[in-house]
């Protein structure tokens, strides 16, 4: 193989030495592409070059010993470059493998954290959750008894990427263990706090709400989470559902207060993570009023379409830049009187 | 089989080890590029001794296995040893620290590579290149 390469190189170089045309340079460059593909190292190329020159100038004095020595020097010089190149190739391959592994992990995460939107008369639900990187550090948890209660939790691990994503199964397992939609939001939060607090340096902001179809009340509790929005259909106004709870995982014995609001027909509760409010629009954050304007604009869509529409609007506003943070948006809408 | 060695105490001993290796490689019949590769591998190992172990030696011998000739280099020191071999054998570790090709580079330049190291006792690296 090396002999074949040497022969071709000698021919191409010989042609160029005779006629310095663009065509001959082009042919040479095409040939170099093949050498790169075949993993011929830079030092080998110089050695081939030297041999070719020796052949081309055979019998003449033009290819001097000085030139030969200079090429030997260059060969020595290029060995480190050859090593760097090979290392670079290996690192690229490693990265491909890691990307692939991450892809698999993201799929496992999806399967593990799978949660289905409960169906219940009188309330419709829609949501979207988009990770900034491969794995999502935001999480939506649903539970419902199909008769009276629906529970919705939205959690956001401080940090993003793989560590954040790994942490999420803790939240799911905690809520699964509590396992009943009728559970009081503040109690659920207290239990989760104890679980999260046991792990070092892991903090989660979370909003948990429970809707009671019979009484039309939405009871909620927040642990350092982005305030949810309540849209009042009657007057078209938005109210922030504030709650001053501490992040989960900061202190062991925290009791988070819960509050309730009464929902009327067409009212919506919108729960989100800071990926929504902290999305960048021309070097500044998205403003609350801009967000409520967007929601108002799409308010007549069904919740799922509303959630997707808001995401697309935000994508557009941030000019399709990569998301700075995982972004989650949940819409609950009271449909009946 | 011929065997010779160079004590590595100063930076100029690295040059001597290189010279010895190149002469030996040339004598065995290695081409110019392989000579440069073998010399580079010796250079890296000798530099490691000079930089991290203060004192050690490079042994160079011609070997012959059922007619196939080769060159074997043994770098031996009584230095601090390597705590995490896997780390220093990782691609990108040495280059990212600005230390050049490092041990993964040495392994790639040669056909065979073996390392033994004990913390606080020293390190032995054996490398071989066969003449094809």
- Residue A1: what pLDDT? 61
pLDDT, position B54: 79
Please judge whether B95 and A90 are an interchain contact, meaning their C-beta atoms are less than 8 angstroms apart.
no
Using CA coordinates, name the residue in chain B closest to A68: B32
Domains and CATH numbers, chain A: 2-92 (1.10.1240.30), 116-334 (3.60.40.10)
- B67 touching A (Cβ < 8 Å): no
Residue of A nearest to B35 (CA): A76
Residue B100 has pLDDT above 70, yes or no: no
Determine contact, residues A112/A167, Cβ cutoff 8 Å: no
Work out the minimum CA distance from A21 to partner chain B, whole angstroms: 31
pLDDT at A147 over 70: yes
**Residue A167 confidence (pLDDT):** 80
Q: Does B100 touch chain A (CB under 8 A)?
A: yes
pTM of the model: 0.66
Span A47-97, pLDDT tens digits: 999 999 999 999 888 999 999 999 999 999 999 899 988 889 889 999 999
* Contact status, residue B110 vs residue B129, Cβ threshold 8 Å: yes
Q: Is the ipTM of this complex over 0.95?
A: no
A265: number of Cβ within 10 Å:
13
Edge-to-edge order in the sheet of strand A259-262? A138-144, A149-157, A204-212, A217-223, A259-262
Q: According to the model, what pLDDT value does residue A158 have?
A: 83
Please calculate the CA angle A49-A52-A56 and round it to the nearest 5 degrees: 135
Q: CB–CB of B36 and A79 under 8 A?
A: yes
| CB atoms B95 and A50 under 8 Å | no
Cβ contact B94:B25 at 8 Å: no
Q: How far is CA B81 from the centre of its chain?
A: 16
Residue pair A243/A259 in contact (Cβ under 8 Å)? The answer is: yes
Counting Cβ atoms within 10 Å, is residue A194 exposed (0-12), middle (13-18) or buried (19+)?
A: middle
Percent of chain A's residues with pLDDT above 90: 60
Residue A243 binned pLDDT confidence (cut-offs 50, 70, 90): confident
Of A79, A86, A90, the CB nearest to B40: A79
Give yes or no for residue A288 having a pLDDT over 60.
Answer: yes
In angstroms, the separation between the Cα of residue B50 and the nearest Cα of chain A is 19
Closest-CA residue to A327 (of A160, A179, A109): A160
Q: How many CB atoms lie within 10 A of CB A198?
A: 11
Average pLDDT over residues B66-83: 94
Instruction: Check if the beta carbon of residue A178 is closer than 8 Å to that of residue A191.
Output: yes
> Which of the four pLDDT bands, split at 50, 70 and 90, describes residue A20?
very high
Q: Report pLDDT for A267.
A: 96
- For A312, phi and psi rounded to 5 degrees? -65, -40
The residue of chain A nearest to residue B89, with distances taken between CA atoms, is A87
Q: What pLDDT is stored for residue B97 in this prediction? A: 66
Q: Give the burial class of B50: count Cβ atoms within 10 A of its Cβ; 0-12 exposed, 13-18 middle, 19 or more buried.
A: buried
For residue B99, pLDDT over 70 is answered with no
Tokens of residue A45, six digits: 């190329």
The answer to whether residue B1 neighbours chain A at the CB level (below 8 Å) is: no
Interface contact B92, partner A, CB < 8 A:
yes
Torsion, Cα A128 A131 A137 A143, to 10 degrees, reads 20
What is the distance between the alpha carbons of residues B42 and A183, in angstroms, rounded to a whole number? 71
- Looking at residue A157, its pLDDT comes to 87
pLDDT higher than 60, residue B1: no
Q: What is the pLDDT of residue A280?
A: 74
CA distance A109 to A165: 8
List of residues 6+ apart from A166 with CB closer than 8 A = none
pLDDT band at B45 (very low <50, low <70, confident <90, very high): very high
Write down the pLDDT at residue A252. 87
Cβ distance of A44 and B33 shorter than 8 Å: yes
Contact A75 B33 (CB under 8 A): yes
Name which of A35, A85, A87 to mutate to probe chain B: the one with the most chain B Cβ atoms within 10 A of its Cβ. A87
Averaged pLDDT, A22-47: 93
The reply to whether residue A91 touches residue B32, judged by beta carbons under 8 angstroms, is no
Highest mean pLDDT among A98-112, A194-208, B27-41: B27-41
**How many angstroms separate the CA of residue A3 from the nearest CA in chain B?**
14
CB of A157 within 8 A of CB of A137? yes
Annotate A163-213 with DSSP letters as a single string.
HHHHHHHHHHHHHHHH--TTS-HHHHHHHHHHHHHTSTT--EEEEEEEEET
Q: Residue B96 has what pLDDT?
A: 63
Q: Are strands A327-334 and A268-272 parallel, antiparallel or unpaired?
A: antiparallel
Rounded average pLDDT over A205-216: 94
Measure CB to CB from residue B36 to each of A75, A90, A91 and give the nearest one. A75
Q: Any chain A CB within 8 A of the CB of B99? A: no
Contact B105 A91 (CB under 8 A): no
């Amino acid at each position: 193989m090396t002999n074949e390469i040497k022969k071709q190189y000698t021919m191409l170089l010989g042609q160029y030495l005779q006629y310095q045309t663009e065509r001959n340079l082009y042919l040479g460059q095409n040939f170099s592409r093949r050498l790169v593909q075949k993993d011929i190292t830079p030092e080998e190329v110089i050695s081939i070059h030297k041999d070719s020159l020796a052949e081309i100038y055979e019998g003449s004095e033009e290819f001097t010993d000085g030139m030969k020595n200079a090429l030997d020097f260059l060969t020595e010089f290029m060995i480190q470059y050859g090593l760097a190149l090979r290392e670079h190739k290996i690192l690229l391959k490693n990265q491909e493998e890691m990307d692939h592994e991450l892809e698999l992990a993201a799929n496992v995460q999806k399967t593990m954290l799978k949660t289905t939107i409960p169906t219940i008369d009188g309330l419709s639900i829609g949501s979207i959750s988009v990770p900034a990187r491969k794995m999502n550090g935001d999480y939506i948890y649903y539970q419902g008894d199909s008769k009276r209660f629906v529970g919705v939790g939205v959690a956001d691990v401080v940090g993003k990427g793989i560590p954040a994503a790994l942490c999420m199964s803790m939240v799911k397992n905690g809520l699964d263990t509590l396992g009943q939609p009728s559970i009081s939001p503040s109690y659920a939060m207290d239990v989760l706090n104890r679980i999260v607090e046991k792990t070092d340096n892991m903090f989660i902001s979370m909003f948990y709400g429970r809707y009671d179809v019979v009484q039309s009340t939405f009871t909620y509790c927040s642990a350092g989470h982005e305030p949810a929005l309540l849209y009042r259909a009657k007057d078209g106004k938005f109210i922030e559902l504030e709650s001053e709870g501490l992040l989960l995982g900061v202190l062991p014995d925290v009791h988070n207060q819960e509050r309730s609001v009464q929902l009327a027909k067409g009212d919506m509760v919108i729960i989100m993570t800071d990926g929504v409010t902290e999305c960048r629009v021309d070097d500044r954050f998205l403003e609350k009023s801009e967000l409520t304007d967007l929601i108002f604009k799409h308010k007549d869509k069904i919740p799922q379409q509303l959630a997707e529409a808001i995401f697309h609007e935000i994508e557009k506003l941030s000019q399709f830049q990569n998301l700075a943070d995982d972004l989650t948006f949940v819409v609950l809408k009271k449909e009946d009187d | 089989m011929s065997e010779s060695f160079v004590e590595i105490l100063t930076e100029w001993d690295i040059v001597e080890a290189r010279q010895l290796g190149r002469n030996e490689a040339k004598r065995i019949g290695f081409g110019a590029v392989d000579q440069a590769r073998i010399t580079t591998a010796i250079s890296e190992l000798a530099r490691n001794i000079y930089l991290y172990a203060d004192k050690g030696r490079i042994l160079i011998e011609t070997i012959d296995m059922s007619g196939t000739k080769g060159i074997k280099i043994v770098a031996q020191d009584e230095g601090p040893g390597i705590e995490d071999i896997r780390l220093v054998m990782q691609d990108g570790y040495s280059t990212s620290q600005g230390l050049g090709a490092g041990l993964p580079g040495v392994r790639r330049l040669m056909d065979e590579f073996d390392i033994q190291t004990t913390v606080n006792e020293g390190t032995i690296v054996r490398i071989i290149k066969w003449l094809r």
